[in-house]
Amino acid sequence: MTIFFCITSLAQSKIEGFIYDGMSDVPLPYCTIRIYGSQAHSTITNEDGKFAVDSIYSSDSIEVRHLGFKTIKTVVSYFEKESKLQLEMDVSVLDEVVLTASQNEVYPYKLLERIIEVYRNSKNTTVSKAFLTMISSTRNIPIEHVEGFYNSEQSLANGILDLKVKSGRFGQNRAFPFYSLDNTKILSDFQLFGTSKQILPDYPGNLTYNAIQRIYDVKIDDCVECSQGEVSISFSPKVANGRLFYGNMLIDHQLLIIKKIELLAVDPITNALASINKDVELTPREIRLNIVFNPIDPEKIQYLELHFQMGYRSKNISEIIDSRTFLYFFDYDTFYEDPYFTKTIHFNNDYDKMIALQASDDFWESNYQFPKSINENKSMDFMKKNGFLINFNNYIPLDDLKYTRPTVLSWQQGRRLNWEHLHRLTTEEYESDTMGYNRGLNLSTGKAYDTPFQHLQTKASRNDKDNINICYMVDSYIGENGITKIVSRTLLDIDSSQFSHERTKNKLVYFNIIFDIYEVYRQLAASRIMENTTFEEAKIIYDEMYKAALTEVKKMEKETSNDSDYEGLVKWNNRIKAKLNIDNLASIK
């Protein structure tokens, strides 16, 4: 079977292959793939055991690793003719010293204590890039699909210290617009060996030695898949407790290195994990969390895998939600340029920020880390037919804004602002809420929501004045051809803007013209960006154009008397028509 092919005209040709268990002939997920040659490159197999590398590596060597299997080396060109490579299990006899010591009930506790102390006292921190995929479903029907690239910082002592989204995209099921837990917050909050209160249940790594002895049974397990020097330590609460994980830890008992941690909690009790909607009840049913360290560099986390099952109950619906999040760290000691905003936006969550950021095909083609799995392709196909996709092909469809209700909007040629986009309460809602107005709750760490935008329905302005906040997002990335590209968007920050109670066509035209003025100056800034323009220089250009746009808007506000002067409005409408070929007076009903 030949698997050398060209994916798209934009992408480089790829060599793909599968890694299998040589004994059971089943694919091995998350194998570590290392390329040795003119330049080093690392990747992993997906959940189907499939990987892909650029064809430029065809003459290089490839090394494949997986816990419990012998490392194998071959050449990348092997996969131009063969579709799969089989690994042999690495079975070894448990060290006699460990075997004897394990008969002592105290030894497993002491061994666990020693390794926890090593990691808890570690000062090692690492920055890297990260790639996240998340799929949520109910009754095997996809309801959410999220992908994102991040800048990250991690430490051996505390786990993920920081995750900042660089670019993201997501899809939702129109029939079930459920927005999953903010799983990046949950994963970032989990402390590998810290002892502070966290959202998820605790495990021995979060406890003192005395606490472990008191509440956990700890033992050394028989481990048929352990390699030389490896030991599997299992731990289970002496009394079932929703605030405690069961699990095991695969370690090198001589080097005191952790290779993998597997955690399980059934009917868990979590902290600060509840729906903002009083009519909805979310009940965690099962949590599985796997932490795997990089086999080539064991002082770094390679990936986290979180399975979260919860009960979802409201007045009209009761379902079981299954959510799987996979967070893979790559390109250690490097990071993306952080996107720049000409005015600060306080994003409520990653969904909002993904809508604001670029999602260029060129960026995604050059950064995607492994092939989509069968499940991911099925989920994506379902969303295309039965849902909507945000930021795929760098596009946000107009008709789907009613489902997402974002707190930021990106300017688009074919989209005009309407009152629905601005989240204004109806007259009836306003009158019923005047006695007990609540500005709404923030999406704080670890909280779950039916939709991250739902809380905005209570955030309409009570001010008769208009204050529309607009800024530019500027970003830089290296494309497939190795050339640095600078991209930008004009953003309306709905969450911090204020809109008066007046709902007239002229008022809506007025808002759209303001949005358009900023876009005119964004395009002017973009025209000044050359191939040799640095990102810092680009920031200065956009800052200057932003100030110019602000001055122009003030002039427009004065000449239209804040939309009450119709002749002035017509004048500015014609200016926008000449610049952008948009007639707001004609297109807005």
Confidence of residue 401 (pLDDT cuts 50, 70, 90): low
Lowest-confidence segment of 50-54, 108-112, 177-181, 531-535 by average pLDDT: 177-181
The answer to whether residue 441 scores a pLDDT higher than 80 is: no
Q: Tell me which range, 19-28, 393-402, 445-454, 497-506, is most confidently predicted by mean pLDDT.
A: 19-28
Q: Is the pLDDT confidence value at 452 over 50?
A: no
| Distances in whole angstroms, Cα of residue 578 to Cα of each of 415, 516, 556 | 17, 12, 16
CA triple 118-119-123, angle to 5 deg: 100
Determine the pLDDT at residue 96. 60
DSSP state of 143: E
**Per-residue confidence band for 580, with pLDDT thresholds at 50, 70 and 90:** very high
Q: Beta strands 84-87 and 13-21: pairing type? A: parallel
Sorting pLDDT into bands at 50, 70 and 90, what band is 399? low
What are the pLDDT digits (tens) for 322-349?
A: 999 999 999 999 999 999 999 999 987 8
**What pTM, to 2 d.p., does this model score?**
0.88
Helix (H) or strand (E) holding 154: strand 141-155
Region 254-270 average pLDDT: 96
Q: What are the tokens at 80?
A: 């131009």
Average pLDDT, the chain: 86
Provide, rounded to the nearest whole percent, the portion of the chain with pLDDT above 90: 65
Question: Which domains, ranges and CATH numbers included, belong to the chain?
Answer: 4-87 (2.60.40.1120), 407-424+461-587 (no CATH)
The tokens describing 235, both together, are 């731990």
Q: How many whole angstroms separate alpha carbon 586 and alpha carbon 589?
A: 8
pLDDT at 99 over 70: no
DSSP string, 279-319: T-EEEEEEEEEEEEE-SSSTTSEEEEEEEEEEEEE-SS-EE
Q: Which residues of 69-108 are buried (b: 16+ CB within 10 A; e: fewer)?
A: beebeeebbebeeeeebebeebeeebbeebeebbeeeebb
- Residues of the chain with pLDDT > 70, as a percent, come to 85
> Which residue type occupies 528?
R
Kindly report which listed range (108-122, 290-304, 351-365, 569-583) carries the lowest average pLDDT score: 351-365
